Amino acid sequence: MKYVVLSFLILFSTASTCSQSTSTLFNGKNLEGWHIDVPALDSIPEARIPFIVRDGLLVSLGTPEGHLITNATYQDFRLEVEYRFAAEPGNCGVLVFASTPRSLYKMFPKSIEVQMMHENAGDFWCIVENITVDNMLERRGPKEEWGITEGKKRRIFNLTDGSEKPVGEWNHMTIECLRNEIKVWVNNDLVNHGYGATANNGNIALQAEGSEVEFRKVEITSISELTP
């Protein structure tokens, strides 16, 4: 079930934190500051690298599947990502609080995924970490089926429909992680809000998950709670 979210919630939420310092995670030239974990490369060294820089854009080619992971870990941050499916709608995601590699299906690092799949941007996927949202039964399904490993209900549906732009146009995603809380905006719509996460720091990762996706901005700002 989807929910309408009032604009004043966005303003209130944004006002609850303050910026401290901003840095660009993608420099437009190369993948400095990142490393690649692609299981297929273990047995097929000649397989293509699915993350490249093309015409100043960071491109996830989609296959072979894997992750592009920051070398550094982060805590209390706001991540700004501008992305598009340039030709065909498809699947990708941003992982926050990432840690132990290949923890799920021998592919996904332990993390909370913020979904970027076309028409599903902002869903949470629990990957050997967990998070709570309001209306959990409606958004995650029967409680007895919840879980964080293979075969469990790990998906938590987002709050809105129609927040994404058409294929070929640029989307702006903001992911705000403060302590154990995650808020996600897509094109200025608040699309998800989770709390009580079982992690509060880790690497950031971008996926290669079957579809070509272009990124023109990956920028991080450290944040902290405002003091009275």
Q: What is the per-residue pLDDT across 4-34, written as a single tens digit (0 to 9) for each? A: 443 334 333 443 444 468 999 999 999 999 9
pLDDT at 114: 98
What the block records as the tokens of 108 is: 């996904």
Residue of 226 and 10 predicted with greater confidence: 226
Residue of 226 and 141 predicted with greater confidence: 141
R_g (Cα) of the chain, nearest Å: 17
Q: What is the per-residue pLDDT across 71-111, written as a single tens digit (0 to 9) for each?
A: 999 999 999 999 999 889 999 999 999 999 999 999 999 99
pLDDT at 20: 67
Q: What is the per-residue pLDDT across 114-145, written as a single tens digit (0 to 9) for each?
A: 999 999 999 999 999 999 999 999 999 999 99
pLDDT at 182: 98
Angle, alpha carbons 17-22-23 (nearest 5°):
145
Residue 162 reports pLDDT greater than 80: yes
Assign a CATH topology to domain 7-225.
Jelly Rolls (2.60.120)
Rounded mean pLDDT, 29-51: 97
What are the boundaries of each domain within the chain? 7-225
185: CB partners within 8 A, 6+ apart: 10, 172, 173, 174, 176, 191
Measure the N-to-C terminal CA separation of the chain; round to a whole number of Å: 37
pLDDT at 4: 41
